[in-house]
Amino acid sequence: MIELKGISKTFPSQKGNQPVKALQNVDLHVAQGEIFGIIGRSGAGKSTLLRLVNGLETPTNGTVRVDGQEISQLAEKELRYARQKIGMIFQHFNLLQSRTVWKNVAFPLEMAKKPKETIRRKVDALLEQVGLSDRAQAYPSQLSGGQKQRVGIARALANDPKVLLCDEATSALDPETTSSILDLLREINRETGITLLLITHEMSVVQAICHRVAVMEGGQIVERGEVKSVFGNPKHSVTKQFVQQTEWMQSSDFPVQSTEKTRFHCSPDEMQDVWAKIGPAVQSGRVKVSVSERELKADGGMTFLIDGKREDVEQLLDSLHEEADLEVNVHV
C-alpha cells in the first residue's frame, strides 16, 4: 500500500550551514491493512518520511508510491485528489478553532465538494464512530485532549482514505487517554482495513498497536521487523536504548550499583534552563542523562533520568535547584 524505494531527502544549506541529509536511501514497504510504526529519536527523519508519503515534501532521490500511485510525480491538482485518500492526524490536533466539532469534520468533505446531504450523513456517522455525537456543537476549546484527537481522527477519515498517517498522535495525551485513542485506531483498522503508518518516539505506542516497526536513526532505517522480535531481540544500539529505557521506566526499583540513577521532571518553561545546566555536565562525561518518554506527555515537559556517581548527580541537581531556580522533583 505504501512503498518507498531508494528515498533520499537533502534539505539545502541555510545561512551558510551544511545541507541536511534528512533521509538516506530508505526502502520501506507497508502492506495493505497493516499498522506500521516508525520509531526514532528526535531528528532521526521520521516527520520527513511521513511528509514524503502525503506529498508535502518531494524526495531528492527515489520514489514514493501509495496505492500504486507515484506520489512524487504528481502534479498539484492530482496531488490534491490523491491526498484525499491519505488521512493524517497530528500531535497538536490542528483543529479549526472557529468551527464546531461538526464543522471541523465536515471541512474536508466541503473541500471535496460533496453534496450537503452526503456531508450530513457522513459527519453524523463519523462522530458516532469516534464517540462524540453529543459534542457535535462544541468548539475545540471546550474539549479535552482526547476528545480533540477524536475529532482529528473523524476529520481524517471523512473522505474514506486508504491510508491514515499518525504524526505523534498521542504524544500530547496522558497515558489513559493515549490508551483509549490507540484502542480507537486499532478498532478502525480492524473494521475498515485502513493502513496505518505512525511515527512516534514512544516504544509503548508501538508495542500497543503496531504489527511491524522500523527503527530510524540518522536518516536511515537501522532495524525493522515484527514488533515482538525487534524489541525482544534488539540489535542496533538505538533499539537497545529504547528497550532499556522502557524497562527502566517500568521497573519500580532502579538498579543502583556503583552508580546512582535519579529522575526529575521539568515543565516546558523550565526546559531551556535545564538544558543549559545539563549540557555541560553531560559533555564533561561525569553524568549520563536520558529522557523518559512516559512523563513527556503529561504537560509537554520532560522527565530526565540522571546516571552517575552520587556526588556528581547531587552536584548537578544542586545546580539545577539553585541557579536555575527550578522546582525539581527527585525520585531515587
Binding site for ligand ATP (CB under 6 A): 11, 20, 22, 40, 42-48, 201
For ligand ATP, give the closer residue by CB, 22 or 158. 22
**Beta carbon of residue 19, minimum distance to ligand ATP (angstroms, whole number):** 9
Give SS3 for 117. helix
Name the minimum Å distance from CB 117 to ligand ATP. Answer: 40
All three cell numbers of 220 = 536511515
* Residues 45 and 22: beta-carbon distance below 8 Å: yes
CB closer to ligand ATP out of 22 and 151: 22
Q: Which long-range contacts (CB under 8 A, 24 or more apart) does 285-293 make?
A: 286/312, 286/316, 287/312, 287/313, 287/316, 290/241, 290/245, 292/245, 292/248, 292/249, 292/263, 293/201, 293/202, 293/203, 293/204, 293/245, 293/246, 293/249
In the complex, what is the shortest distance from the CB of residue 320 to ligand ATP, in angstroms, rounded to a whole number? Answer: 24
**Where are the alpha helices (H) located in 30-174, listed in sequence order?**
46-53, 76-83, 101-111, 116-129, 145-157
The least CB distance from residue 25 to ligand ATP, in Å, is 15
Least gap, CB of 48 to ligand ATP (angstroms): 3
Nearer to ligand ATP, 60 or 259 (CB): 60
- The smaller minimum CB distance to ligand ATP, of residues 11 and 248, is found at 11
Per DSSP, the three-state class of 4 is strand
Shortest CB 131 distance to ligand ATP, Å:
29
Backbone torsions φ then ψ of 236, nearest 5 degrees: -80, 150
- CB of 9 or CB of 212, closer to ligand ATP: 9
Q: Specify the residue, 30 or 313, whose C-beta has the smaller distance to ligand ATP.
A: 30
CB of 172: closest distance to ligand ATP in angstroms? 13
Question: Taking Cα atoms as reference points, which of 143, 160, 153 lies closest to residue 84?
Answer: 160
CB atoms within 10 A of CB 272: 10
Closer residue to ligand ATP (CB): 162 or 224:
224
Dist. CA 178–CA 90, nearest whole Å: 13
Cβ neighbour number for residue 25 with a 10 Å cutoff? 14
Q: Which amino acid is at 318?
A: D
Q: Count the helix, strand and coil residues of the chain and give each as a percent rounded to the nearest 5.
A: 40, 25, 35
Name the residue nearer to ligand ATP (CB basis): 158 or 166. 166
CB of 294 to ligand ATP, least distance (A): 16
Neighbours of 282 (CB within 10 A): 16
